Structure 1
Amino acid sequence: MTEQAKSEYLWRSRLRLLGWGTIAALLIAPAIAMQFTGEVHWSPGDFVVAALMLGSVGLAMELAVRAFPNTAYRAGVALALAAGFLTIWINLAVGIVGNENNPVNALFFIAPLAVIGGGIVGAFRPRALARAAALAALVQVGVMLFIWLTGRGFPIGVTVFFATLYLIAAALFRQAAQPGG
């Protein structure tokens, strides 16, 4: 094994340890908090959902790192995963508009689904993911406009945050699609 290959392997090993360690810490934190405060109430089902969500993000990132050596591609995947994960997590925990029981919040799941669907259709190639992430940003804005025009709220801050993440991911995927990108 060349010195460069050893260095790359060591770097990936450290990143993997950091990633999976962070996921484990995020799952352990509520269990510890429940021992010291009555304000954290996680059921076994909450831990299962959190483990599935965090594990899915970790697995998707693992697959992206193994399949594509391009740094821009990997960063795009990380941002798109973060946007999708946070959208789902916030919606399940407290809701984006009103509370988690507000049916209009279900519309926010369309944006992460756009990225997943576009990725599947385009075989997770950078150009397809660039389009899918840009579509997710448009969907995010469209959902906000629909909610606002129907008088159910005006989630501008959340929309700007998530749309920006998706647009940066789209730009990174476009960069990855360029020759030598």
Structure 2
Amino acid sequence: MTHDTYRNAIAWIRVLRPLVWGGAALLLLTPWVAMRFTDEVAWTGGDFVVFGAMLLAGCVAFETTARVARVPSYLLAGAISIGAGFLLLWANLAVGIVDEPGHRANLLFLGVLVVGALGAGVARLQARGMSRVLVAMALAQMAAGGIAMGMDTQESPTFVLAFTGLYVVAWLLSALLFHKAARALAAG
């Protein structure tokens, strides 16, 4: 890894940090503003607390990734996986991926995030290990989608297949970028 590569990673972090935190603040304010103009959005205090906690967790995950990142590919892999994980949790809690949020099939998709969180701890956020964790998440996503399609649901199997495919691509892209980061760090 060259000194310029490290400086590029730091430069990207400086650009992304205010965007991440500012974007989180705007996302939290959006439903509050929407509630002023329409009755279609009716969040409770609990909704804001849960969403705020999710946003805080995503921002802290970004900060942790930023501290560990020594190459831009690691930072990008982290950003993709954090963003995908955030959206997976948000969709699951807000409307449910399969039928309503309380449907038991949705627990399978939350299991993908558990695989990621536990795997990241075991890998200690090291690029090579994170690459393997993201491959495991892609496999868990495929299993969750396959099992969910076989369950008694009102959801279209085509939707579950497309949803699953989109996330498998995101997890595998992150895995590839973590792998690239591991190679760059080893060459370094």
TM-score normalized by the length of structure 1: 0.90
CA contact (8 A) 1:83 1:112 kept: no
Corresponding residue number in structure 1 for 2:163: 158
Q: Secondary structure at the match of 1:158?
A: helix
Structure 2 Cα separation of the partners of residues 7 and 96 of structure 1: 38
Q: Which amino acid aligns with 1:131?
A: R
- The CA deviation at 1:31 is 0.4
- Give a deviation string over 1:46-85, Cα, whole Å, max 9, x none: 1111111011111111111122221111111111111211
- Specify which structure has the bigger relative contact order, considering alpha-carbon pairs within 8 angstroms and separated by 6 or more residues: 2
Q: Which structure 1 segments of 5+ residues have no match?
A: none
Corresponding residue number in structure 2 for 1:82: 83
Corresponding residue number in structure 1 for 2:181: 176
Q: Secondary structure at the match of 2:41?
A: coil
TM-score normalized by the length of structure 2: 0.87
Structure 1 Cα separation of the partners of residues 34 and 100 of structure 2: 23
CA contact (8 A) 1:141 1:159 kept: yes
Q: Which amino acid aligns with 2:44?
A: S
CA contact (8 A) 2:8 2:71 kept: no
- The CA deviation at 1:9 is 6.7
Corresponding residue number in structure 2 for 1:104: 105
Aligned pairs, number:
178
CA spacing shift, 1:137–1:31, aligned 2, 3 Å:
same
Q: Secondary structure at the match of 1:97?
A: coil
Q: Secondary structure at the match of 1:124?
A: coil
CA RMSD of aligned residues (A): 2.1
Structure 2 Cα separation of the partners of residues 52 and 75 of structure 1: 23
Percent of aligned positions that are identical: 33
Please identify runs of 4+ aligned residues in structure 1 that moved more than 3 A: 4-14, 150-153
Corresponding residue number in structure 2 for 1:15: 16
Q: Secondary structure at the match of 2:59?
A: helix
